[in-house]
Amino acid sequence: MSRPGPDPYLLRIARAPAVRALLIQCGAAPLTLAIIYVMASCRLPVDYWSVAAVQGLLAAGLTWKLGLAAWWRVIQLLFPAALLAALALRLPPWLFLAAFLFLLGLYWSTFRTQVPYYPSHPAVWDAVRQILPPPADGAPLRVIDIGSGLGGLVLYLARQRPDAECHGIELAPLPWLYSRLRAAIAGSRARFTLGDYEKLDFGRYRLVFAYLSPAAMPGLWRKAAAEMRPGAMLASYEFAIDARAPDRTIHTTEGEDALYIWYF
């Protein structure tokens, strides 16, 4: 009988760069202690800042050796010193807790999805409006923003296209709550769901809009190719798909990133 392998969800978390970076800092700590012990034994000057420097250098070196993206080396190098600097400010402890809870609510699973929050802009929303099929062409017009952030695009489309069902799905609780409140205050028909777009059936939608990150695009394409129906569109702002060239590219504003569209 074959033994069940490790849980793929836990594996994905363990492979997330932020988790690996944290494990590297933990792994560097005993080495730092050993080096500091040797430095102290040789009567070299040792203080908290030298500990932070040794820890940062070791963590950055391990990060480079283990092949994380280049910016992680800088983060790993500066992280221990930044911790010391924050402690030196002598801020009240509740402030750290409040900042942590705020960032947790805003970024939630970003360490796993590698898709942080950053907004698209109204020129992009209008380009999306323009690619929608005309009203009453037969099939119901359902559109969704997968990772709807603060809800700007979905609220805009709900205003502009009263014939369309406009949905947003968002993994992080704080932006989701904010978009729900915006819709309630504006009396909008836009609907916002708290959840993971990976669990949705894309086959229900005529347009799926994504503003995610390069890391999310291969999985998004596999899902879209498997589920989206003939006549549907996938639109991605800024990030293209390696497996298939877009059928259309729109430059919303000069010098800005493109909106890519694939037809099914």
Ligand X SMILES: C[S@@+](CC[C@H](N)C(=O)[O-])C[C@H]1O[C@@H](n2cnc3c(N)ncnc32)[C@H](O)[C@@H]1O
Residues in the site for ligand X, rule: CB under 6 A?
113, 115, 117-120, 145-149, 152-153, 169-172, 175, 196-198, 211-212
User: Whose Cβ is closer to ligand X: residue 196's or residue 256's?
Assistant: 196
Cβ atoms 216, 115 nearer than 8 A: yes
The amino acid present at 159, given as its one-letter code, is R
Distance between CA atoms of 150 and 155, rounded to whole angstroms? 10
Tokens 């990976």 belong to 198
244 Cβ partners below 8 Å, 6+ apart?
221, 225, 262
Shortest separation between residue 45's beta carbon and ligand X, angstroms: 45
Q: Report the residue closest to ligand X, judged by CB.
A: 147
CA of 23: how far to CAs of 13, 26, 57, 64, in Å? 12, 5, 15, 14
> How many angstroms separate the Cα of 251 from the Cα of each of 129, 191, 246?
14, 28, 13
Tell me whether residue 109 or residue 249 sits nearer to ligand X (CB atom): 109
In the complex, least distance from residue 112 CB atom to ligand X, rounded to whole angstroms: 9
Q: Which residue, 30 or 222, has its beta carbon nearer to ligand X?
A: 222
Shortest separation between residue 41's beta carbon and ligand X, angstroms: 49
To ligand X, the closest distance from the beta carbon of 115 in angstroms equals: 4
To ligand X, the closest distance from the beta carbon of 110 in angstroms equals 6
By beta-carbon proximity to ligand X, the closer residue of 80 and 152 is 152
Q: Nearest to residue 176, comparing CAs of 165, 186, 190?
A: 190
Cβ-based nearer residue to ligand X, 47 or 201: 201
Are 56 and 32 in contact by the 8 Å Cβ rule? The answer is no
